[in-house]
Amino acid sequence: MTNRPRIHRMTKQRQMILEVLQNTKAHPTADWIYEQVRQAVPRISLGTVYRNLRVLKEMGDIQELNYGSTYSRFDGNPAPHYHFVCQDCGKVMDIDLPLLTDYDEQVAGTVGGQVDFHRMEFYGNCSDCLT
């Protein structure tokens, strides 16, 4: 019994959440997204935001990040890329450097499994927090 593929509808809420995420470089939290979308869709609920973030992630339109926090951040750019996290202010920035794709094969060899993708995060202090 293979289950019929789920059909996704493009609601006003889902549309807005995706737009907000695609128009910021801030890698925001669910709550920040909620506050933004609320300005256009006042009666939206936080539960709806979470549900849509999960669906958008499953559809491959966004990605979820959780770097050393108790909460998740979301990225409107689904293409693999690395991140820099400032340990002082918590800011997350995109890193514009080529991916180390060759490493995946080596890792697959040492663990004896299959590697689909990898992630890399750099930690330190951003220029604003160096003084």
Residue set of the binding site for Zn(2+): 86, 89, 126, 129
User: What's the CA gap between 17 and 54, in Å, rounded?
Assistant: 11
Q: Which does 32 bind (CB under 5 to 8 A by kind): a copy of itself, DNA, none?
A: none
Query: Is residue 64 close enough to count as binding a copy of itself by CB under 8 A?
Result: yes
User: What's the CA gap between 122 and 115, in Å, rounded?
Assistant: 21
Q: Which does 36 bind (CB under 5 to 8 A by kind): a copy of itself, DNA, none?
A: none
Show contacts with a copy of itself in window 92-111 (CB under 8 A): 93, 95-97, 100, 103-104, 106-108, 110-111
**65 and 75 Cβ atoms separated by less than 8 Å:** yes
User: What's the CA gap between 108 and 63, in Å, rounded?
Assistant: 23
Which H helix or E strand runs over 93? strand 92-95
Which residues are near a copy of itself by CB under 8 A? 64, 66-69, 82, 84, 86-87, 93, 95-97, 100, 103-104, 106-108, 110-127, 129-130
